[in-house]
Amino acid sequence: MATLSFKSQILQGIPKDLPPKRERSSTVSHAPKRKEILSLEEKKLAIRNALRYFPKTWHSELSKEFALELNDYGRIYMYRFKPDYDIFARPIDAYPAKILQAASIILMIQNNLDPAVAQHPEELITYGGNGAVFQNWAQYLLTLKYLATMTEEQTLHIYSGHPMGLFPSSKEAPRVVVTNGMMIPNYSKPDDWEKYNALGVTQYGQMTAGSYMYIGPQGIVHGTAITVMNAFRKVLKKDESSNGKIFLTAGLGGMSGAQPKAGNIAGCITICAEVNPAAAHKRHAQGWVDELIIDINELVSRAQKAITDNEVVSLAFVGNVVDVWEKFNEEGLFIHLGSDQTSLHNPWAGGYYPVGLSFEEANDMMSGDPEAFKEKVQESLRRQVIAINQHTARGTYFFDYGNAFLLEASRAGADVMAENNIDFRYPSYVQDILGPMCFDYGFGPFRWVCTSGKTEDLQKTDAIALKVMEQIKRTAPKEIQQQMQDNITWIREAEQNKLVVGSQARILYADAEGRAKIAEAFNKAIKSGEISSPVVLGRDHHDVSGTDSPYRETSNIYDGSKFTADMAIHNVIGDSFRGATWVSIHNGGGVGWGEVINGGFGMVLDGSEDAARRLKSMLFYDVNNGISRRSWARNEEALFAIKREMKRTPELKVTLPNLVDDSLLENLFD
């Protein structure tokens, strides 16, 4: 295998000769051992399933090796078949594909598995602990071979990482259709994922992992900066600055680690508690947080100084966040914004560390006495909520950051329920901020990747996007002036924020008009040669239309339909026949299997007339589908946005809701 060139290895797919057995790398992070869940017969089935990728003559040797992998790691990753070449986003002409679209998809897959980008690269996990690109290396090899050999008259269908094959289609069809974790609804609980993933028949694609659209931490920084900026706008007077005002939160982990950097971009004092010293030091060394403080009294005096001097600074407190909430209360320090990004979607296995125990003590108790640990977690949550409630009584604005903080606090018996005993007394970030201020108007995490791999191309796209946004802002209605300005500021400062990890990618919150006009301008620049090679468009699934998730993306839908997933399904079907280069639909995402359906797309711009036609049609639908659903749910901002769009686009005819006078409903059922 090692003697073949990179291109030949891709074209070969599964190698002709059995490659030598290989050990796992000791220099990259590995996925945790998965739960032992299969019966003896099911284990045999998992091996039988894995062996179907290989010639019979290899079965005797591989069966033993795969059985060991299943025992040791709970999954069969087929480490032996991981290629020797380095995996990263090479420039597009490095791939042996027949068509540009397929080469772009290979580039995006390579980026998602780049060890500098991916969380557990040898287990093909990009992020989120279980967000898989493929289940095993055989799927990777076969998929790349199919992509390298396909024509514009074929579509590759991928079932949870498994390439079912190339099917004849047409030039207008997507080149790849991806599904991840699509289950019969009754088989969609977390243990079903464990079982069917161990059998090798499904996978958890997260959002941008299994759809090849991950661009590193940049996406999270932008989303968090937008959230913090808008949260301050909710609490500050018009024209009052966020400088010298405190945003208190917790977590310096995978996603949460973006908070201090985002706080600096939003111009406030960020105080972020992190109980794991290694995580805090890592973020400090990476330059994602300005100062590390270990002593709580020192934190108080440093915070007081930052307030007095009107500073923009981020302070990591190496300790428990509950101590900070309580101490700041004792000291009468005013917190403008409060949130929490500990991993409370996973409370009993290290997602949340209870106050009063050191990090090591907590880890020991977690495995040594799980019941006692659970009690400590719940007691800590109750204490945290008491302190938060004292702050909010004095005017702090607290919001849930999609990490199940309020849900787990309520389960622990903490005082977080609203008077109606149905809702929480605090909003989630989507209910109060991202939903009404961004998604309902169509603003969401649009992104692009320059396939040349050249920084100059990314700079040119930044400049083009800035020019387009400035032009649109001149005539934009007052309702979205602020959002337009935020985008302009972001793109102007994007390069200096140094957020590129992996491919030359950029994220920018834009609405339907912005996305289409930016894409059109890119396509023209590719045609004229100003941009040297194709650009891939895409987005995070955490967006206006692609995701139905009742406690996150669609938590600000109040007509009862937030438990349906029609929008996400329409989105993926609608995008697929309007010109997407690839489409994907997933069960899972950030909140767990069975809790969300999310979808996305990729679209290659190559400067052609075809690309110009497709981008208009697909980007329009990709955003307006969600706005129409949000307006039907009576969301005021979405009603405004869809009416405006119908004026601009006479062929768009959306069913609008008639609003009901609530007094009519008062005595109907007495």
By Cβ distance, which residue is nearest to ligand NAD?
253
Query: According to the binding rule CB under 6 A, does residue 504 interact with ligand NAD?
Result: no
Q: Name the residue nearer to ligand NAD (CB basis): 10 or 255.
A: 255
Of residues 357 and 623, the one with the C-beta less far from ligand NAD: 357
- The amino acid occupying position 84 is D
Should residue 428 be labelled a site residue for ligand NAD when binding is judged by CB under 6 A?
no
Determine the interface stretch with ligand NAD among 344-352, 497-505, 572-580, 613-621 (rule: CB under 6 A): 344-352
Which single residue is written with the structure tokens 């199919």?
Answer: 146
DSSP state of 400: B
In the region spanning residues 580 to 599, those forming contacts with ligand NAD, defined by CB under 6 A, are 590
For 235, residues 6+ apart whose C-beta sits below 8 A from its C-beta are 336, 337, 397
| Residue 320 engages ligand NAD in binding (rule: CB under 6 A) | yes
> What is the nearest approach in angstroms of ligand NAD to the Cβ of residue 633?
21
Among 62, 89, 321, 466, indicate the residue that binds ligand NAD (CB under 6 A): 321
Given candidates 139, 206, 208, 224, which one binds ligand NAD under the rule CB under 6 A? 224
According to CB under 6 A, which one of 9, 135, 197, 343 is a site residue for ligand NAD?
343
Angle at 641 between CA 556 and CA 489, to 5 degrees: 85
User: What is the closest distance, in whole angstroms, from the C-beta atom of residue 564 to ligand NAD in the complex?
Assistant: 21
- End-to-end C-alpha distance for the chain, whole angstroms: 77
Compute the distance between CA of residue 388 and CA of residue 645 in angstroms, rounded to an integer: 42
> Whose Cβ is closer to ligand NAD: residue 271's or residue 275's?
275
CB of 181 to ligand NAD, least distance (A): 17
CA distances from 619 to 212, 518, 601 (A): 18, 11, 10
Helices (H) and strands (E) in the chain, counts: 22, 17
Residue 439 interacts with ligand NAD (CB under 6 A)? Answer: no
Rg (CA), the chain: 25
Q: Of these, 89, 275, 357, 472, which contacts ligand NAD (CB under 6 A)?
A: 275
Nearest approach, Cβ of residue 552 and ligand NAD (Å): 6
Contact pick of 89, 156, 250, 468 for ligand NAD (by CB under 6 A): 250
Q: Which range, of 89-97, 101-109, 349-357, 578-586, touches ligand NAD by CB under 6 A? A: 349-357
- Residue from 342, 389, 533, 545 in contact with ligand NAD (CB under 6 A): 342
Nearer to ligand NAD, 69 or 400 (CB): 400
Q: Which is nearer to ligand NAD, 117 or 531 (CB)?
A: 117
User: Which one among 214, 288, 352, 398 touches ligand NAD, defined by CB under 6 A?
Assistant: 352
Interface with ligand NAD by CB under 6 A: which range of 159-167, 217-225, 232-240, 475-483? 217-225
CA-to-CA distance for 355 and 365, rounded, in angstroms? 13
Structural contact between residues 148 and 95, judged by C-beta atoms closer than 8 angstroms: yes
CB of 379 to ligand NAD, least distance (A): 12
Token pair for residue 218?
């940049």
Least distance (Å) from ligand NAD to the CB of residue 253? 2
Whose Cβ is closer to ligand NAD: residue 76's or residue 335's?
335
Q: Where are the alpha helices (DSSP H) in 242-320?
A: 259-266, 277-285, 296-308
**Residue 60 CB partners (closer than 8 Å, separation 6+):** none
Q: Identify the H or E element spanning 582.
A: strand 582-587
Residue 543 touching ligand NAD (CB under 6 A): no
Count CB atoms within 10 A of the CB of residue 609: 9
CA distance 400 to 434: 12
Q: How far apart are CA 227 and CA 428, in angstroms?
A: 11
Q: Does 403 bind ligand NAD (CB under 6 A)?
A: yes
Told to check if 276 binds ligand NAD by CB under 6 A, we report yes
Q: With binding defined as CB under 6 A, does residue 509 bind ligand NAD?
A: no
Among positions 107, 138, 166, 220, the unique one binding ligand NAD when judged by CB under 6 A: 220
Residue 197 CA from chain centroid, whole number? 21
Residue 256 lies near ligand NAD (rule: CB under 6 A): yes
254 binds ligand NAD (CB under 6 A): yes
**What is d(CA 647, CA 635) in angstroms, rounded to the nearest whole number?**
19
**For residue 447, what is the DSSP state?**
E
Quote the least distance from Cβ 440 to ligand NAD, whole Å.
Answer: 18
* 125 lies in the site for ligand NAD, by CB under 6 A: no
Question: Cα separations (Å) of 263 from 231, 251, 267, 288, 550?
Answer: 11, 13, 6, 10, 27
Closest CA to 196 of 184, 212, 208: 184
Q: Between 494 and 639, name the residue whose CB sits nearer to ligand NAD.
A: 494
* Minimum distance from residue 131 beta carbon to ligand NAD (Å): 11
Q: Does 15 bind ligand NAD (CB under 6 A)?
A: no
In the complex, what is the shortest distance from the CB of residue 549 to ligand NAD, in angstroms, rounded to a whole number?
10
Q: If binding means CB under 6 A, how many residues of this protein chain bind ligand NAD?
A: 30
Q: Phi then psi for 118, rounded to 5 degrees?
A: -80, 145
Q: How far apart are CA 355 and CA 323, in angstroms?
A: 7
Asked if 253 interacts with ligand NAD (CB under 6 A), we say yes
User: CA-CA distance, 659 to 119, in Å (whole number)?
Assistant: 47
Q: How far is the CB of 251 from ligand NAD (least distance, A)?
A: 3
345 belongs to the binding site for ligand NAD (CB under 6 A): yes
Q: Binding to ligand NAD by residue 311, rule CB under 6 A?
A: no
Phi, psi of 291 (to 5 degrees): -135, 145
Q: Which is nearer to ligand NAD, 402 or 514 (CB)?
A: 402
Render 319-375 in DSSP notation, one character per residue.
S-HHHHHHHHHHTT---SEE---S-TTSIIIIISPPTTS-HHHHHHHHHH-HHHHHH
Q: Binding segment for ligand NAD among 83-91, 97-105, 336-344, 593-601 (CB under 6 A)?
A: 336-344
Which residue lies nearer to ligand NAD by CB, 47 or 321? 321
How far apart, in Å, are the Cα atoms of 424 and each of 23, 54, 615? Answer: 49, 53, 41
SS (H, E, C) 301-316: HHHHHHHHCCCCEEEE
Would you tell me which residues interact with ligand NAD (CB under 6 A)?
Answer: 220, 223-224, 250-256, 258, 273-276, 279, 320-321, 341-345, 351-353, 401-403, 590
